[in-house]
Amino acid sequence: MTTPASRRVFIAGMVLFSLASLAGGFATTQAWLLAARAAQGVGAAVIAPTALALITTTFPEGLPRNRAMGVYSAMSIGGAAVGLMAGGLLTTYLSWRWVLFVNVPIGPRSRSSRRGHWPARRAGAAGSTSPARSPARSAWRRWSTA
């Protein structure tokens, strides 16, 4: 059973990460940018272990949890690869600021994810942070009904 405290901590980390991204995108000095990036790091440091905790408490031991961990790992690796390419494209064609602004919508969407049970949500439902997350949600749904 997922604890409400874990969800609140996860959402707080997501909101902190989003707000720090917004602040970094508007940075006009090096100190401001470094402070925003440090706050992003704190947010990410809260998100990563809490996401794993949510998976281990939401999914029962055995095949469902193993599959959820596999999807989490695949999305993490895929997100890192796509993030590097997208960051390069954003920097080349728009501005370095857009590398930070692209993270801003994540916070409000994570707050809206409180309404439902996280793994059982449909692909594309409110709370989906990007098109890259939809396959993970549909995969969880498909595996949980198998």
Q: What is the pLDDT of residues 10-43, one digit of tens each?
A: 888 998 999 999 999 999 999 999 999 999 999 9
**What 3-state class would DSSP assign to 115?**
helix
d(CA 139, CA 112): 21
How many Cβ atoms from other residues are within 10 Å of residue 96's Cβ? 13
Are 50 and 77 contacting, i.e. CB atoms less than 8 angstroms apart?
Answer: no
> Both ends of the chain: CA-CA distance in Å?
20
Instruction: Using alpha carbons, list the distances in angstroms from residue 23 to 9, 11, 34.
Output: 21, 18, 10
Residue whose C-alpha is closest to residue 69's, from 140, 142, 145:
140
Condensed to tens digits (0 to 9), the pLDDT of residues 86-106 reads 989 998 999 888 988 988 887
Q: What does pTM read for this prediction? A: 0.68
